[in-house]
């Protein structure tokens, strides 16, 4: 079933997914999520007080590309922290699913949070339809500066370059 969902995600995608442009104000939000299996509250404005935030949207927990992307972010989280950034994963999955995902696929190294309809609309990451009864987002990674503005966007359903491009953007932002 997971393979069917992963395949459906590829076919459900539109050729060019929308995303917020660089320079746009990132919509603030407060939502529930998890880290290392523990439920927590994620408030973007609070996270930005500490430094830039890498907010990466992924289609659905426990699918091939999303598992690989979470693992890659977990492997690089120390590099992001050294550059002063916080990593937060976002999907339309429910909190119990994200509790398991945060412990199993994110290795407990960063928070993943549930993106409700307002967050999905605000960040322009909807794929436009539910797949097998699940709402899904596109795969879009944002680097948000401390000023609350979008500093970088990587919008691609292929998870391969999201970590490298966002880390480079964070390092460049730090160098300013």
Say which CATH number the domain at 92 has.
3.40.30.10
Range of the domain at 16: 2-175
Predicted local confidence at residue 11, as pLDDT: 32
pLDDT number for residue 74: 98
Can you tell me which residue has the tokens 């699913």? 97
pLDDT at 19: 84
pLDDT score at 128? 63
d(CA 91, CA 87): 14
Q: How many domains does the chain contain in total?
A: 1
> If the chain, 176 residues long, is cut into consecutive pieces of 10 residues, what is the mean pLDDT of each piece?
37 51 97 98 97 96 95 98 97 96 97 95 83 79 97 94 97 83
């Amino acid at each position: 079933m997971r393979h069917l969902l992963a395949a459906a995600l590829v076919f459900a995608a539109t050729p060019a997914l929308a995303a917020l442009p660089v320079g746009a104000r990132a919509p603030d939000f407060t939502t529930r999520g998890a880290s290392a299996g523990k439920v927590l509250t994620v408030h973007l404005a609070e996270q930005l007080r500490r430094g830039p935030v890498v907010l990466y949207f992924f289609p659905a927990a426990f699918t091939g590309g999303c598992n690989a992307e979470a693992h890659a972010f977990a492997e690089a989280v120390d590099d992001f922290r050294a550059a002063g950034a916080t990593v937060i994963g976002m999907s339309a999955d429910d909190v119990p699913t994200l509790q398991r995902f945060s412990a199993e696929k994110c290795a407990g190294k960063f928070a993943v949070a549930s993106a409700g309809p307002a967050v999905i609309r605000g960040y322009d990451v909807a794929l436009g339809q539910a797949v097998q009864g699940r709402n899904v987002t596109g795969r879009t990674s944002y680097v948000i500066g401390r000023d609350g503005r979008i500093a970088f966007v990587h919008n691609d359903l292929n998870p391969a370059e999201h970590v490298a491009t966002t880390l480079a953007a964070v390092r460049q932002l730090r160098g300013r």
